[in-house]
Chain A
């Protein structure tokens, strides 16, 4: 059970797009289509924004999109807005009822 690897930080200007990566192994990210992304604002509870690699829960803007290639998943935020500044975490099902999270990426809107 190793944590998924995310860059510690990412940034972009309002209106731009930014992509956050999440690297794992063939046992987790690369194993099936269970990859989720969570957004957490300071002092708030995490909120799921992407599940099953690329699906968006109701109410999540379509500016948020997810994808996966091999053992690496990605979250893209298009048309950056000030309220997108937050910590983002990826997660994956790792088999045998185990779940792993990434270390988190702090997204700064410049």
Chain B
């Protein structure tokens, strides 16, 4: 079964850090670009970050640039998002999503169920 399972979310104070993980199964993880997309409950989708198959291409939304770091371990079929200097406005459900190509495109064909991050004092 093709699936993505996120973990690592939770309640964190502003200014602190959190690391999200995404475990992939059922497909050749090392052959595809991967992304993090977030959604405030009841609101729209926001692309957060993407990484190419070999980590050679990485990009971030302006809203998280300089604070978040995306990475992947193809040997462990895993994607990560290190979130530093968290802000209240980072509160959202964070989805891991698989690209349809080895590079970064805007087509995500597999999504995880998401992990909730709540930033609050």
| Binary contact readout A25-66 vs B (1 if CB under 8 angstroms, 0 otherwise) | 000000000111010100001111001100001000000000
Q: Which of A10-18, A75-83, A98-106 contacts B (4 or more CB under 8 A)?
A: A98-106
- B→A interface (CB under 8 Å): 35, 37, 44-47, 50, 52, 57-59, 61-62, 95, 100, 103-109, 111-114
Cross-chain contact A45 with B114 (CB below 8 angstroms): yes
* Chain A neighbourhood of B109, CB < 8 A: 48, 57
Pick from B37, B46, B106, B108 the residue with the most CB of A within 10 Å. Answer: B106
- A52 to B107 CA separation, bound complex (whole angstroms): 8
Supply 16 further A-B pairs (C-beta < 8 A) apart from A3-B46, A48-B109, A92-B106.
Answer: A3-B44, A38-B108, A45-B95, A46-B95, A46-B108, A47-B111, A51-B107, A57-B109, A89-B44, A91-B47, A97-B50, A98-B59, A98-B61, A99-B35, A99-B106, A102-B44
Closest to A1 in B: B62
Partner among A36, A92, A98, A103 whose Cβ is within 8 Å of the Cβ of B44: A103
A69 close to B (CB within 8 Å): no
- A110 to B103 CA separation, bound complex (whole angstroms): 41
Closest to A50 in B: B107
Cross-chain contact B107 with A34 (CB below 8 angstroms): yes
